[in-house]
Structure 1
Amino acid sequence: MKPVWLTTLRPRKLPFRRRLSRASVALIYRHVDGGETELLFIQRARREGDPWSGDMAFPGGRMQADDASASAAAQRETREEIGLDLTRHGHFRGRLSDLLTRRHSQWRPMVVTPYVFEWCGTDDSITNHEVQRVVWIPVSFLSAVENQSVRLWRSPLGALRMPCCRYREYCIWGLSYSMLQEFLTSGLIPMASRA
């Protein structure tokens, strides 16, 4: 869980975001039988040279010149990566805070904006070459304290202990974990699904 002071200091919209490379992702939740709510994750395809190969993430990617907005980019990338059409079967529920990161294999900064959608369609996802699989995880599991853990990550500064959530053989960490933590405290989750 992030310290309260960090949450209050992080601006919702970074003031310089339009001057940097931008990307966006879609946090997609759905209601299932029994009153549970699940959140969609993708497992990235394993590719040589990709530092996040095989990691858990949310569907999304870089904005393109013909994207009308960052939200439109998240919807396009979701359709391309896993075949879910958020414009037809998704309901926009809110926006989370911008995150500053770097582009793959470059040190140039990039702003990532997460958008939250409720999925009301069928589970007919079709993955492309960038995605190994789609995984729906119960929100009650993701929010339970006993499922939070630590992942050792080797960096140029040495081994760092990174907070994470482990579900079966999957590990949610890094930017995805940060977005998840904000989502869990955002008020965008239906009350019945909160732990």
Structure 2
Amino acid sequence: MICRQTEDGHKELLFIQRARRKGDPWSGDMAFPGGRLQPEDASARAAAERETLEETGIDLSRHGRYQARLSDLITRHHSRWRPMVVTPYVFEWRGPKAVSPNHEVERGVWVPLDYLAASENQSQLPWRTPLGTLNMPCCCYQNACIWGLSYSMLQELLVMVSENRCEPGP
């Protein structure tokens, strides 16, 4: 998760909109940059930094400042039943606003934290499962929904920011 402060003092959070690909159940969804730990990664945080650079062109080692590690989330890969642990990290971004998406990313979107925190911007996304439809909490922005794991991470970050335990910006 990458936070930045705008010139007028507002805070924004970077989301990526995933590229649309046939067979990908999260195709086109809003998410945070991320991916799998590789053997060459020294840590999960190093993997997050590498994946961010690969997906967005944002070099956290040059212009980022580590802020916090959020709670691990347990999920599964959409094509496997084996559990998978997602470890979110928060960085403050002090570099250029431009994002250079790779083939996995349709676009990068800086979303104001005030917008994400506002109750009037919270909604529900109907998600069909073999057992019926679930109404998943979400926040929609520019015709895309932030939901699922990304929404869970966002909620934890918003609590941390409101309690001044993570303060993006100078």
Asked if Structure 1 and Structure 2 have the same fold, meaning a TM-score greater than 0.5 normalized by the shorter chain, the answer is yes
- How many residues align? The count is 165
Aligned to 1:3: none
Q: Which residue of 2 aligns with 1:168?
A: 142
Aligned pairs for 1:132-147 (under 5 A) are 132-147=106-121
1:122 maps to: 96
2:167 matches 1:189: yes
Q: RMSD value over aligned CA atoms? A: 1.1
Query: Aligned to 2:125, which of 151, 157, 161?
Result: 151
Instruction: Using the aligned pairs only, state the percent identity.
Output: 65
Paired position in structure 2 for 1:90:
64
The answer to whether the aligner puts 1:99 opposite 2:77 as a matched pair is no
Offset at residue 104 of structure 1 (A): 3.1
Q: Residues of 2 paired with 1:183 and 1:156: CA distance?
A: 31
Rounded to whole Å, the distance in 1 between the matches of 2:98 and 2:122 is: 30
List gaps (5 residues or longer) in structure 1.
1-26
Amino acid at match of 1:121: G
Structure 2 residues not aligned, in runs of 5+: none
- Report the CA distance between 1:189 and its aligned residue: 3.4
Using the size of structure 2 for normalisation, the TM-score is 0.94
Partner of 2:20: 46
Which residue does the alignment assign to 2:50?
A: 76
Instruction: Report how far residue 108 of structure 1 moved.
Output: 1.2
Cα distance in 2 for residues equivalent to 1:140 and 1:33: 15
CA shift digits 1:21-74 (9 cap, x unpaired):
xxxxxx000000221000000000000001110000000001001100000000
Counterpart of 1:188, as a letter, is C
